[in-house]
């Protein structure tokens, strides 16, 4: 065949990529016998056309370039179509599509659209929803309470946990890993503040394992407790000495009871006087010493009880948070270690409240003024 003539009209819009797609006659919703066919040339060239039996071999359709590939999409009748490419004026056929030889011994590519099945979602006659597919029946409980799937048994073969094999040079080597374990990240539980992660990869016949050691950050609570003089235990306690979820109330943070201790004899009037004293001292700091000196023993005890209650709640929260962090790090504290940790955390809780909590700071300052020059068994230094 002779080289094709130049096309009469160059491609003007990307819409030309889809032959006849914008006309009602070629719409897949109108003509059920026309289906989309994609022609692709991936062997280079500057200008590529496609033609075939669907154009009578006369009309050459210009293909659209995308990178190194050329593509053309057309809506064709069902059946078998022979086609060929014209690359820079030369007739070519591609190895990426089936070929057949015609009566003139020309090798052509072929596409068979006779078995094409359109997606059901494209059927315009299908309703948007089926009410019968919905209901109010409650699913069986087993559908949402069953356990998650188990780890595949192949992944349980952890290479870094395997026994090394003796090597000829005396350097032990790990056995060859299973292919399914490659590129999987394995990690250990956090122990002594360190988490270990391992990854094995392959390059041709060589396997390389990389191990990462990550130091887990220390929380501000544990750091401050250490600065306060409490040191973490060097090793886990023996069996039978687990730390309680919180320290025993009687041994660690015993507070005043309702019938004894500071504030035990306070009345409703004392509570009102304390509230007024705090308000007056905040409004006129210069009068705070006189206001504090006028407070009775019961009223001072009531203020001390308020400080203790506030300090108790914050200390317990900080202590439980520190215990959770040690459990996540794989450590278990004994009861004595837990009590010493609570004492250190309690001191930090007092310093934090006295610098951040306005009410706590006001009560503590007024209580200090009240105890100046009046020795008492209830020292305001740090609420016990």
Q: Kindly report the CATH number assigned to the domain that includes residue 57.
A: 2.60.40.10
Same domain, 104 and 193: no
Mean pLDDT of 322-328: 80
- Do the domain assignments include residue 140? no
CA distance 218 to 326: 10
Mean of the per-residue pLDDT values of the chain: 72
Same domain, 273 and 192: no
> What's the pLDDT at 257?
38
CATH of the domain at 183: 2.20.25.290
Contacts of 383 (CB under 8 A, 6+ apart): 304, 307, 308, 311, 350
pLDDT, one tens digit per residue, over 29-74 is: 445 678 888 999 998 889 999 999 999 998 999 999 888 889 999 8
Q: Which domain holds residue 22?
A: 14-122
> What's the pLDDT at 219?
58
H or E element: which one contains 108? strand 107-112
Contact call for residues 72 and 52 (beta carbons, < 8 A) = no
> What's the pLDDT at 309?
81
Same domain, 224 and 364: yes
pLDDT, one tens digit per residue, over 227-283 is: 544 554 443 433 333 343 333 333 333 333 334 445 555 566 777 777 777 777 777
Mean pLDDT of 120-125: 53
> What's the pLDDT at 50?
95
Same domain, 57 and 78: yes
CA angle 70, 73, 77 (to 5 degrees): 140
CA distance 373 to 134: 81
Band of pLDDT at residue 176, cut at 50, 70 and 90: confident
CA distance 220 to 17: 63
Tokens representing residue 19 in the block: 């032959």
Considering its fold, how many domains does the chain have in total? 3
Backbone angles phi, psi at 325, to 5 degrees: -65, -35
- Do the domain assignments include residue 352? yes
- Do the domain assignments include residue 198? yes
Same domain, 330 and 257: yes
SS3 content of the chain, % helix, strand, coil (to 5): 35, 20, 45
Same domain, 187 and 238: no
Same domain, 192 and 87: no
CA distance 300 to 95: 97
> What's the pLDDT at 265?
53
Q: Using alpha carbons, select from 59, 40, 57 the residue that is nearest to residue 48.
A: 40
> What's the pLDDT at 339?
81
Q: Kindly tell me if the per-residue pLDDT of 87 is higher than 90.
A: yes
């Amino acid at each position: 065949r002779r080289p094709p003539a130049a096309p009469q009209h160059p491609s003007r819009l990307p819409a030309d990529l889809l032959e006849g797609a914008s006309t009602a006659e070629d719409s897949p919703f109108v003509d059920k016998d026309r289906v989309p066919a994609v022609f692709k040339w991936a062997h280079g060239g500057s200008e590529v056309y496609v033609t075939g039996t669907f154009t009578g071999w006369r009309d050459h359709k210009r293909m659209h370039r995308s990178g190194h590939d050329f593509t053309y999409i057309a809506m064709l009748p069902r059946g078998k179509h022979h086609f060929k490419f014209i690359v820079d004026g030369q007739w070519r056929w591609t190895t990426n599509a089936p070929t057949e030889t015609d009566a003139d011994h020309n090798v052509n590519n072929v596409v068979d659209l006779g078995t094409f099945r359109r997606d059901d979602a494209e059927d315009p006659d299908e309703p948007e929803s089926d009410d019968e597919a919905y209901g109010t029946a409650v699913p069986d409980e087993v559908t949402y309470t069953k356990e998650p799937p188990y780890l595949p048994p192949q992944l349980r073969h952890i290479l870094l946990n395997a026994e090394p094999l003796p090597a000829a040079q005396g350097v032990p080597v790990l056995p060859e890993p299973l292919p399914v374990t490659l590129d999987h990240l394995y990690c250990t539980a956090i122990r002594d503040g360190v988490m270990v992660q391992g990854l094995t990869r392959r390059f041709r016949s060589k396997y390389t394992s990389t191990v990462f050691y990550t130091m887990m950050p220390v929380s501000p609570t544990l750091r401050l407790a250490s600065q306060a003089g409490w040191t973490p235990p060097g090793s886990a306690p023996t069996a039978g000495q687990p730390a309680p979820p919180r320290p025993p109330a009687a041994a660690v943070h015993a507070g005043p009871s309702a019938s004894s201790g500071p504030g035990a004899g306070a009345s409703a009037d004392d509570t009102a006087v304390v509230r007024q004293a705090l308000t007056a001292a905040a409004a006129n700091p210069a009068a705070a010493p006189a206001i504090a000196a006028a407070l009775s023993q019961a009223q001072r005890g009531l203020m001390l009880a308020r400080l203790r209650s506030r300090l108790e709640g914050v200390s317990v929260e900080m202590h439980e948070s520190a215990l959770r962090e040690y459990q996540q790090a794989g450590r278990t504290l004994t009861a004595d270690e837990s009590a010493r940790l609570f004492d250190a955390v309690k001191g930090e809780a007092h310093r934090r409240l006295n610098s951040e909590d306005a009410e706590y700071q006001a009560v503590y300052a007024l209580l200090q003024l009240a105890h100046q020059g009046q020795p008492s068994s209830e020292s305001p230094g740090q609420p016990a």
